[in-house]
Amino acid sequence: MIKGKDKKKSPDYVKAFHNDYVITIGRHPRFSWVTHTDKDYMYFLYITRTEKNFVSKNTAHVGSFNILCHQQTFYDYHHLMLVIEPILSEYVLESEKIFHICMLVQELEYQCEDPLHKEASGE
């Protein structure tokens, strides 16, 4: 299952689920203190794994925990797209699924710039 934030406007993140992994790729306006790039947006990649474990040593209560497997910041879209496939390959073995996730990531960059999209969606 794959989803994005809000289909009415350009998404701020996309999220993909694969087995126990949750892959989240987000876009955020560049922070003012980031001066080594002139790009408008920064990108973040988070891969977490859901794991069940005991809540404490003294009880039999089991809880779900999100374990951070990978986290990386990218200062432009181009750099993200250059390295996303090898990173995803470590967690997702199906190349079709990797391709689909990469196509979703393109929505972060291109949906907000596409004048036909803006016209069709009424933005």
Q: Read off the amino acid at residue 9.
A: K
Query: Alpha carbon of 115 to those of 70, 102, 109, 111, 123: distances in Å?
Result: 34, 22, 13, 9, 10
Does the pTM surpass 0.75? The reply is no
Distance from C-alpha of 92 to C-alpha of 30, rounded to nearest angstrom: 29
DSSP 70-94: EEEEESSHHHHHHHHHHHHHTT---
pLDDT at 122: 44
pLDDT at 9: 53
Q: In the structure, how many helices (H) and strands (E) does the chain have?
A: 3, 5
Closest CA relative to residue 104, chosen from 20, 23, 19: 23
pLDDT at 123: 42
- Which residue matches tokens 């002139």? 38
Per-residue pLDDT tens digits of the chain, which is 123 residues long: 445 444 445 568 899 999 889 999 998 877 666 666 666 788 899 999 988 888 888 888 888 888 999 999 898 888 999 999 999 999 998 999 999 999 888 888 876 554 554 444 444
pLDDT at 82: 93
